[in-house]
């Protein structure tokens, strides 16, 4: 089971990096992203600090607010492909 834990931690790290990167690409503060998504600003911060286990519905909300897709939020290649 340790492999599953490592994989889960990798996904949390990738999600945190991508949320922050897409937020910056869209010139949004955490507060602005919170307002657009309907999530609390501290929740956005905790996602970016890898402190949250995010639900599928929250992933969808974040992806829409960041003008991207859920798969792109969850893969390292997602952001690289966007930047060209």
CATH assignment at residue 60: 1.10.260.40
Series of mean pLDDT values for 10-residue runs along the chain (84 residues): 65 96 98 98 98 96 98 81 59
Domain range for 56: 11-70
Q: How far apart are the first and last CA of the chain?
A: 36
Does 81 map to a domain? no
Give the per-residue pLDDT at 82. Answer: 63
Q: In total, how many domains does the chain have?
A: 1
Does 46 map to a domain? yes
Does 82 map to a domain? no
Does 78 map to a domain? no
Per DSSP, the three-state class of 83 is helix
Does 54 map to a domain? yes
pTM: 0.84
d(C-alpha 70, C-alpha 46), whole Å: 18
Does 60 map to a domain? yes
Does 17 map to a domain? yes
Q: Which DSSP state fits 67?
A: T
Does 3 map to a domain? no
């Amino acid at each position: 089971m340790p492999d599953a834990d490592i994989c889960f931690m990798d996904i949390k790290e990738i999600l945190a990096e991508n949320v922050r990167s897409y937020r910056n690409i869209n010139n949004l503060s955490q507060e602005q992203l919170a307002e657009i998504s309907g999530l609390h600003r501290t929740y956005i911060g905790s996602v970016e600090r890898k402190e949250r286990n995010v639900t599928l519905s929250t992933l969808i909300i974040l992806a829409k607010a960041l003008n991207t897709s859920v798969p792109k939020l969850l893969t390292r290649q997602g952001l690289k492909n966007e930047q060209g």
